Structure 1
Amino acid sequence: MTEGMCDEIIDGKYRGWADRVADTLAKESSNFSYVNLAIRGKLLHQVIDGQIPEAAKFVTGSDTLISFHAGAN
């Protein structure tokens, strides 16, 4: 879902919902940064053990927005 597979746009590339939200937020703030760590096929424990510690490195303050989605299948 977050990775954007099957969310094809006109040029044939994939843009998931998180990419689209980031595009909109970037237009609102010149100090905006975005990281998408989504990797399809990861098991829940792999996300918790590997991606959450990596994502925590990007928390910069109270205005940090985090979306977490895993284990839907």
Structure 2
Amino acid sequence: MLPDRDAAEQAAQELGERFGTDEEPRILRDALAGEDDAEDAQWLVLLHDEREALDPGELDAFAGEWEGWREEP
């Protein structure tokens, strides 16, 4: 999760460039549960790796550079 849209867009672009993904990563606004204030929203960078071609450890390290984490569905 990232604090604003600009950071999410920058992370998505760098993710695509660094890992050469087949599809472009998407960003999604995620409002925190129970919060009415739009400023409390976080931003997610979504990437589907259906072929499982990307190394999970490298993705974890990338997420850590952005002070985030990787989740699997």
TM-score, scaled to structure 2? 0.34
Q: Rg: which structure is higher?
A: 1
Q: Which has the higher contact order (CA 8 A, sep 6+)?
A: 2
Q: Which has the higher strand share?
A: 2
TM-score, scaled to structure 1? 0.34
